[in-house]
Amino acid sequence: MKVVFGLFVILFRVSHGVETFCDGRQNGAKCYGALGGTVVLRLMDDASKIFRSVWIFNTTTTILRLRNNMIVSNLIEKRSSFSLSNGTFRINDLSRNDGGEYTLVVYKDNSGTNVEKRTLQLTIQAPVSSVLLVSECLSQGEMKASCSSEGGDSPQYRWTLGGRTLTQTQLLSGNSESQNITVKQDVSGELVCSVRNDVSVVRKEKQTCGFTFLQCTLSNGTYISNWFPPAYETLCPQPTPEALPLLYCGLRAAVVFLILTGIFVYFACKKNDLKKAEGSAVHEVTEYENDSVVMLEMRSSASRL
């Protein structure tokens, strides 16, 4: 959907070509038609309520005449039609000669003074027929891509990845609207080039290179640290499915061993601290008992004296 001077131009394809719609009820509307296709122009709300009107091409050629809810004349009636109920003019089999300025003059009464004028500009473009997307995977996994189109006037290019516009952080060169870009090696997904103009849009998609960064020591002792294509994803040794349960059990046993060791050390330390505390208590009692004996002996000697 494209907005031009506040108007909506809707593009879609039909079996006999490209059909476009333009609302020309606002003065200065910009409208587009596809070469060989059809354009539907909304000129007024309801022509049946208008006293008289004429539609003029490039200020000199009267294309359509209306009066009192009747079509008086249509210069291109063999390939066009006008609807009085909704005020739309349909032109088929568009050619380059159909492009130009159209002026609608509406006479609201018979006086000739109550007049309304508005213009629209109709541009005829050749639609984009196909898109060619050429890509190359570089040595480090970067992707060089080039997009071109067949046919189509004023083509515009747009790159997306997974439905989102490519950002500069994902690119080594170019931008999301360039014909030629280079994508970084760590970018993966479906790369799409869209080519559009005002009457058509065509897309082409391509998968990125999908390189993977591998870092490991091979069985022959060679150390690798680089980007590799998908075919080399198994280059680094991986634990076999049979070894995974053993590895898991080994890790569990190691954790249990560490926990039990910690518990043993904890209680051993507590026991040692307890023994030290008991030794200190015995020593104090012994000294107290010795002191008591000495005191008793001294009392006995004194009594004898």
Distance (Å, whole) CA 119 – CA 103: 4
Backbone angles phi, psi at 161, to 5 degrees: -130, 115
Q: Which residues of the chain have pLDDT under 50?
A: 1-16, 281-305
pLDDT for 286: 46
Token pair 């590799």 is found at: 228
Q: Residue 188 is which amino acid?
A: S
Q: Quick check: 198 and 32 in contact, CB under 8 A?
A: yes
Give the model's pLDDT for residue 242: 55
Residues 213, 178: Cα–Cα separation, whole Å: 28
pLDDT at residue 12, as a whole number: 39
Establish whether domains 2-125 and 130-212 are of one fold. yes
**What pLDDT does residue 248 have?**
64
The structural domains of the chain, with segments of one domain joined by +, span: 2-125, 130-212, 239-305
Nearest by Cα to 24 from 123, 103, 79, 109: 103
Q: Residue 280: its pLDDT value, please?
A: 56
Closest by Cα among 130, 168, 229, 139 to 159: 168
Q: Sheet of 164-165: strands edge to edge?
A: 164-165, 156-161, 190-196, 201-207
- pLDDT tens digits, one per residue of 116-167: 999 999 999 999 989 999 999 998 889 999 999 988 999 999 999 999 999 9
Single pTM value for the model: 0.65
Give residue-wise pLDDT tens across range 262-295: 787 777 777 776 666 666 544 444 444 444 444 4
pLDDT attached to residue 244: 56
Match domain 2-125 to its CATH number in 2.40.100.10, 3.50.50.60, 3.40.140.10, 2.60.40.10: 2.60.40.10
- Classify strands 115-125 and 100-107 as parallel, antiparallel or unpaired: antiparallel
Calculate the CA dihedral of residues 265, 270, 271, 274 and round it to 10 degrees. Answer: 160
**pLDDT at residue 211, as a whole number:** 86
- Coil vs helix vs strand at 96: helix
Q: What is the pLDDT of residue 87?
A: 92
pLDDT value of residue 260: 83
Check if the beta carbon of residue 168 is closer than 8 Å to that of residue 161. no
CA nearest 105: which of 97, 95, 113?
Answer: 113
Q: Which CATH architecture has domain 130-212?
A: Sandwich (2.60)
User: Bridge partners of 73?
Assistant: 65
